[in-house]
Structure 1
Amino acid sequence: MFDSLTFIIGKVLVLSNLNIFKFITQKEEARTNNCQTLSLQRGDLLEVPRTLFIHFGIYLGDNKVAHLMPDILPVFTSDKCQIKKVVTNKRLLWGVISKNATIRVDTVEDFAYGSNILVNDMDNTMKRSPLPNEEVARRAEKLIGVIPYSLLWNNCEHFVTYCRYSSPISLQTDKFCEGLKSIVRDQRSVLLATLLGMMSIACLGLAPSTTLPSILVPFALWMAG
């Protein structure tokens, strides 16, 4: 039981790429200096580390970045002044849950949010050659506005890879799915699901709401493994 719990927790931490040091707030001066030292060209692909993921955007020139952000606010208002404000964590979270997003334009400083910026780093890992920078920027500009959002199938990485490589893919999503697949295939997951099912029956009693999941979940994991 302990080994199974350790295995699951370890996998979750690997999948999320958790980095506790990203919680440390950086000074505004450091943010500005970091962005000022960059030499950016229109159409560059920018990426910045967040707490649990990497965020991507396309540089449009004049210190502006187009990037896809989950956002619930456009569902309730068309006031551009309100929508243009920096997306709060609450707006972002509800955007993820409701599957709503916008491709918006912010300053480089607001996009970076205190993190170091990598420029065109994905060119080293993608099999496709990047499009001309001007074409990349024009593609990004055409997509600005409200769009549907999916954490796995239509996120900020899909947006930038479509613009720069003409192929909307997400390497982060691929890594997550591979990690999830390894968990499903590990037989310890079946054992853990079975034990949790037995515990739920013991605590909540024998009922369809406890018995069916206790049977179906381990069976599904067993068949998928």
Structure 2
Amino acid sequence: MLDTLTFLLAHIKLSSLLPPSAREMADPPPPPRFDSARFQRGDLLEVPRTLFTHFGIYLGENRVAHLIPDILPVLTSDPQQVQLMVTNTRLLLGVLCKRASVRVDSVEDFAYGAGILQNAMDRVVDRRPLGGEEVARGAEQLLGGVAYSLLWNNCEHFVTRCRYGSAQSLQTQQFCEGMKALIRDRRVVVLTALLGLLSLVCLGVSSGTALPSLLVPFTLWMAS
């Protein structure tokens, strides 16, 4: 899959993946100015997004190391292009291709207009944080391209590995718990069975419709 996407994307101008010019952008609100003096080297920073929380490690001098999906390092080795702020297009294609990079951005670019929480995860993780210098050096050693997984290797895994010595994602755990609760709910089994019967009525009986219509509700029933 990655080879196919790389072939196709190689024929797209790299400029289409780079940030649009000022004429093409609506005037964004001015980013908040952060007092970087309150951050210590090795601090774990997190910013809320619409559907998730993004994490990074503060390196000092207004710099944050963070893992972010990005397709551009697959297409070019030009560090000047890769270092430009990751656009939504680059991010989405990185998710689909399961590629990311651990990169360094300013605090303002990392926050992207949101407020920043500092070391809030220390209160919920059952491991003591490592020393600030050890955390920052660990993050610096991981800079560069990495494989990406939405559930199993994301920005939260990166920061917890650096700060606590063990990669984990509370967001992934919450998602899995939600999925387990959904599977255990027998109302979902009934709904799935009804949808299967509806597909048989609308599409007719065939191996392509009958097998999923029977197998999916049965699997959910046995797991509930």
Query: Do the aligned residues in 2 keep the contact of 1:26 with 1:114 (CA within 8 Å)?
Result: no
Q: Match of 2:18?
A: none
Contact 2:36 2:62 in 1 (8 A): no
Q: Which residue of 1 aligns with 2:86?
A: 87
Is the CA contact 2:42–2:134 (under 8 Å) kept in the aligned structure 1? yes
Give the superposition deviation at 1:88.
1.0
1:130-141 → structure 2 map (5 Å cutoff) = 130-141=129-140
- 1:214 matches 2:216: no
**Match of 2:66, as an amino acid?**
H
1:13: which partner in 2? none
1:1-225 pair list within 5 angstroms = 27-28=29-30, 31-33=31-33, 35-36=34-35, 39-225=38-224
- In structure 1, runs of 5+ residues without a counterpart are 1-24
- The size of the alignment, in residue pairs, is 198
Secondary structure, aligned partner of 1:147:
strand
Structure 1 position 89, deviation (Å): 1.0
- 4+ long deviations beyond 2 Å: none
Residue deviations 1:69-114 (CA, integer Å, cap 9, x gap):
0111111111111111111111111111111000000000000000
**TM-score (normalizing by structure 1):** 0.85
**Residues of 1 paired with 2:192 and 2:77: CA distance?**
46
Query: In structure 1, the residue corresponding to 2:32 is in which secondary structure?
Result: helix
The 2-side partners of 1:38 and 1:182 are apart by 43
How far off is 1:121 after superposition? 0.4
Going from structure 1 to structure 2, the CA distance change for 1:38 and 1:203 (only over 3 Å counts) comes to farther
CA distance in 2, matches of 1:223, 1:38: 56
- Conserved in 2, the CA contact under 8 Å of 1:131 and 1:164? yes
TM-score calculated relative to the size of structure 2: 0.86
Q: What 5-or-longer segments of structure 2 have no aligned partner?
A: 1-26
**Amino acid of the residue matched to residue 64 of structure 2?**
V
1:203, distance to aligned residue in structure 2 (A): 1.3
How many percent of aligned residue pairs carry the same amino acid?
Answer: 62
Residue 110 of structure 1 aligns to a residue whose secondary structure is: helix
Q: Is the 8 A contact 2:42 2:132 kept in 1?
A: yes
Structure with the higher helix share, 1 or 2 = 1
Contact kept? 1:44, 1:133, Cα under 8 Å: yes
Mapped to 2, the partners of 1:32 and 1:52 lie a distance apart of 21
- By how many angstroms is 1:37 displaced? 6.8
Deviations 1:162-215 (A, max 9, x none): 000001000000000000000000001101110111111111111111111101
Is residue 131–residue 165 contact of structure 1 (8 Å, CA) maintained in 2? yes
Name the stretch that deviates more: 174-183 or 193-202: 193-202
CA displacement 1:135-157 (0-9 Å, x = unmatched): 00000000000000011110000
SS in 2 for 1:47: strand
